[in-house]
Structure 1
Amino acid sequence: MSFEVELNDFLSGFKKLIILGVGNELKSDDGVGPFIINKLIDENIENDSLLLINAETVPENFTGKIRKENPSHVIIVDACLMGSEPGEIKIVDKEDFANIGISTHSMSLSYFVKYLEKDNDFKVIFVGIEPETMDWGANPTEIVEKTAFEFIEIIKGIIL
């Protein structure tokens, strides 16, 4: 099943979507989550059914806001070491979090997702983008940036 079909299936019937971009914007491809959020914010597409959050390296700081918004669906976007080709994008199963290298953040994203899901019934998925480099740098590499823009177009096609 293609990424676009999987994402479309996940978002079927969504009422309120939160997209949470996670990553360090000073470490090239690790900043792809915030890069995506910033580009979506620039397009001014937020509305009552879409909230965009640039969580940078501290997604745990936004648990209260996410719960208060009471979304039906949450997408977490981050660089993810999956052993794939740089720029590859995929939905990562929550059970696979322990087997892959998910970014460089203070709180384990698997723990973060478990905490979010506790006492809530919204759906959560993790979208991982394979980095080319996580060295110091202000922007994602060309291949990861291309994937970021593809994700933006896919998400807009589904929700707008």
Structure 2
Amino acid sequence: MKQFLKGHKKLVILGIGNEMRGDDGLGPVMAQKLAPYEKENFTVFDAKTVPENFTGAIKKEAPSHMIILDAVDMNEAPGHIRLVNKEEIANYNISTHAMSLSFLIKYLESTHPVKIILLGIQPKNMDLNRGISPEIQKSMDYIYRLLTSKIIS
């Protein structure tokens, strides 16, 4: 993460997912927790299941770096955290949103020079009307502490 963010001038966090589908809600929940830390060089978007609706706002922010937070099925233990490079995104089953993240990233990169990475957490349960699983909450707490203490503070 430190290597990815080296020399960043403006960071955007994009939380993606559906809060009604258990662990798939981790992106929006994280975005809501990080929003109070927004400042001139740090912006958060809670995109829910429609990240494509935020392309204009992201372009307006003109970030140098962007982290996408989402549930990613990596065939790992629940709560496993992985930084997924944009070239690897097609190899994973990504969340419940309609637009391909690969397409979204290509579009954003074509409109503004930005470094983008996906911070994925392996979900345990994505059934309707379920809360975040304890394993996923533990990983979310770790990411929250990492971001708030080392990167955005």
Q: Give the partner amino acid of 1:117.
A: E
Structure 2 match to 1:39: 33
Query: In structure 2, the residue corresponding to 1:87 is in which secondary structure?
Result: coil
What does 1:9-158 align with in structure 2 at a 5 Å threshold? 9-41=3-35, 44-158=36-150
Where does the alignment leave 5 or more consecutive residues of structure 1 unmatched? 1-6
Query: Kindly, what percent of the aligned residue pairs are identical?
Result: 45
Query: In structure 1, the residue corresponding to 2:13 is in which secondary structure?
Result: strand
Q: Give the partner amino acid of 1:98.
A: A
Check whether the contact 2:59–2:111 (CA below 8 A) recurs between aligned residues: no
Q: Give the partner amino acid of 1:78.
A: D
Give TM-score, length-normalised by structure 2. 0.95
Displacement of 1:138 in angstroms is: 4.8
User: Aligned partners of 2:40, 2:18: CA distance in 1, in Å?
Assistant: 28
Q: Which runs of 4+ in 1 moved over 6 A?
A: none
Q: Give the partner amino acid of 2:116.
A: V
User: Aligned partners of 2:135, 2:9: CA distance in 1, in Å?
Assistant: 32
Where does the alignment leave 5 or more consecutive residues of structure 2 unmatched? none
Displacement of 1:156 in angstroms is: 1.3
Give TM-score, length-normalised by structure 1. 0.91
User: Aligned partners of 2:122, 2:145: CA distance in 1, in Å?
Assistant: 18
Displacement of 1:113 in angstroms is: 0.6
Q: Give the partner amino acid of 2:62.
A: N
Check whether the contact 2:26–2:132 (CA below 8 A) recurs between aligned residues: yes
User: Aligned partners of 2:130, 2:38: CA distance in 1, in Å?
Assistant: 25
User: Aligned partners of 1:96, 1:138: CA distance in 2, in Å?
Assistant: 29
Identify, as 1 or 2, the structure richer in strand: 2
User: Aligned partners of 1:148, 1:137: CA distance in 2, in Å?
Assistant: 19
